[in-house]
Amino acid sequence: MRGIDILFLFFVLFVPVMAVYSLIMYISHRNWTLIYVAMGDDNYFKVIGKLKQEGIKYRTKSLFNQNLTPFGGDRFRQYEIYIMNQDVEKASRALAALRK
């Protein structure tokens, strides 16, 4: 009977909480577009500096992979940079100028 109680609690508590969380994440991110994935801090700061210079709002999702350097040293970071949907063209021009 104990296993059934745990399974019942899982479906009654956890599943609705995750459904609400997923809905909130979908609503809050549907107006944002992934414009660039920066590998490493230098590349990240270069890109966001250009976006700031152009007055473009952005959000960043940072992914940290500790497995690549387990014994210290420089850590590898991957940054996903998102911008508002209406700024895609402006940001594309700004980042194209950065590549030249």
pLDDT at 1 over 60: no
Shared domain check, 36 and 75? yes
Question: Do the Cβ atoms of 37 and 58 come closer than 8 Å?
Answer: no
Q: Which of helix, strand or coil describes residue 76?
A: strand
pLDDT at 70 over 60: no
Residues 38-55 have pLDDT tens digits of: 988 889 999 999 999 999
d(CA 78, CA 33): 17
Shared domain check, 41 and 2? no
The first and second tokens of residue 5, run together, are 């109680």
Q: How many CB atoms lie within 10 A of CB 59?
A: 13
Residues 17-40 have pLDDT tens digits of: 888 888 887 777 788 899 999 988
What is the reported pTM? 0.66
Q: How many CB atoms lie within 10 A of CB 87?
A: 19
Shared domain check, 35 and 15? no
Domain limits at 90?
Answer: 31-100
- The pLDDT assigned to 99 comes to 79
Shared domain check, 65 and 16? no
- The pLDDT assigned to 67 comes to 58
d(CA 18, CA 23): 9
Shared domain check, 96 and 54? yes
d(CA 45, CA 35): 15
Residues 6-23 have pLDDT tens digits of: 778 777 888 888 888 888
Shared domain check, 41 and 78? yes
- The pLDDT assigned to 77 comes to 83
Number of domains in the chain: 2
